[in-house]
A and B are shown apart, each in its own frame.
Chain A
Amino acid sequence: MSILVLAEHDNQSLKPVTLSVIAAAKAIGADVTLLVAGHQCGEVAEQAAQVVGVQKVLLADAPAYAHQLAENVSQLLLEQAQGCSHVLAAATTTGKNVLPRVAALLGVNQVSDVLAIEAPNRFKRAIYAGNAIAQVESDESVQVLTIRGTAFDPVAATGNSATIERVDSVFESADVSFSHEALAKSDRPELTAASIVVSGGRGLGNGENFDMLYKVADKLGAAVGASRAAVDAGYVPNDMQVGQTGKLVAPELYIAVGISGAIQHLAGMKDSKVIVAINKDEEAPIFQVADYGLVADLFEAVPELEASL
């Protein structure tokens, strides 16, 4: 058996979620090859070579791979997956975009958003927005898996020195091109990697009031998230959404402010170690999952919280 893993990165640094995907690969138990596809991403390959558990790093460095376009990266993965028993990527918007395309090219189904490895072809995954956990067995010749990062403890980022091999194949579709992007710039930790997350819901009332949460977050070194209601209302951008259809987080501490606790939000954060809810409605469902609930007006409680940190 051998496992090909697609590295998640921004051409400068390897994203921590990749360390969790490697952990899943180790649970399968086979040699791990990490593919870094990007443009001017040599530094990422250097970091990838240090990750514990990686036997070999493949570096495909070409403009065609700069933006992780599914059409190009899937062809590269198809080529490199020859002879592999498993192909893995993180269940991020990048992995979810690319990997089903690889599965179809290989003529196999994909198992999405894997939470646990039971055997090399038997996995657990959440269905129905996390309301049920399915155990599935795949009869496919190659296992193509996207991995839920928060479900696996990351391997060590340093301590290894795997070989780096260059891949010269360039696949470039003429039918798609990158136009532009608007990426959120923030000095705060990334939502899915933060050990503390402070999230706001519709109770905040508007986008300006999220400033209160940013102040608390900065004192705690936390990331700031939001419920779907807050995103849909236009308070904050989509990349802050925590939930079934947004980001899945499992920090040490999750502080939900003015969030009622809709099922789809709970699906995105209920694996957090400690959950705090601040809401003025004591009947809000969020209190049913909170370790510490505070029934209070958030406009009084949040500034007080900030002051006491």
Chain B
Amino acid sequence: MKLLVAVKRVIDYNVKVRVKADRSDVDLANVKMALNPFCEIAVEEAVRLKEQGVASEVVVVSIGGKACQEQLRTALALGADRAIQVEAPDSPDALSVARILAKIAETEQPGLILLGKQAIDSDNNQTGQMLAALLNRPQATFASEVKVEGEHLLVTREVDGGLQTLKLTLPAVVTTDLRLNEPRYASLPNIMKAKKKPLEVKTAEDLGVTVGSKIRLLGVEPPAERSAGIKVGSVAELVEKLRNEAKVIA
């Protein structure tokens, strides 16, 4: 079975994001970029399925400018076999991304498609679900455990009330949550090997997809800042303040 993993280049999760002075967008000049953490978990899960002998090949795909090849190389260093970069303008909307991925899936015919549940920049949490809809295949979002059983997939999902397990017929789309696995670190020899793995470049036009941006960003603002309050010296003082000053407890 072939696995397809979609990955996104985003700001490194350790970087504190700042709004530009003119409030047109956030400031991404000269900030460290990285593989989206949820995508990294998806790559790790695919590589584990290959190591278990469940999968035969792991193909990673990313959509964006040439810079995203860096993240594809990271995924190859983690154990993916080959990569596809789909050249597209920056910030394509989620539906365009899903349409491009659907075209790739039609060509590659993967048994399972893995994606992160959301990217930590746009926080949209929708591409995987959209892809599943376009392919008319079942989905399991927010996965914390994935088991392949023949033609089926048992996926445990993190839902608001606890955990829910679904049984899907392959091919299927899975989006990863944080506790699915702990991604490995790429070793130096694997980073070197990754440079020689195949990386194919396509364009959105090649795939017949017109990239849209129907959701226009009008501007951004910093979130309302909370200022630090006071330090209290004792539990008794705390309770007194909560009762009589803040009036939030009886």
Contact = CB atoms under 8 A, between A and B. Distances in A.
Contact of B231 (A108, A274, A294): A294
Interface stretch (A39-47, A123-131, A161-169): A123-131
Majority secondary structure of chain B interface residues (helix, strand, loop or mixed): mixed
Contact of B132 (A92, A101, A134): A101
B228 A108 contact: no
A111 interface: yes
A209 interface: no
Interface residues of A, number: 91
B147 to A, nearest CB: 11
B184 interface: no
B85 interface: no
Contact of A137 (B93, B177, B216, B228): B216
B157 to A, nearest CB: 8
A245 B231 CA distance: 29
A263 B16 contact: yes
Contact of B246 (A110, A232, A274): A274
A100 B226 contact: no
Interface in A91-108: 92-94, 96-105, 107-108
A175 B218 contact: no
B229 A238 contact: no
A133 B17 CA distance: 11
Contact of A70 (B129, B169, B238): B129
Contacts of A288: 226, 228
A176 B166 contact: yes
Nearest to A118: B218
Contacts of B158: 93, 238-239
Contacts of B127: 100
Contact of B121 (A122, A128, A289, A295): A128
A15 to B, nearest CB: 9
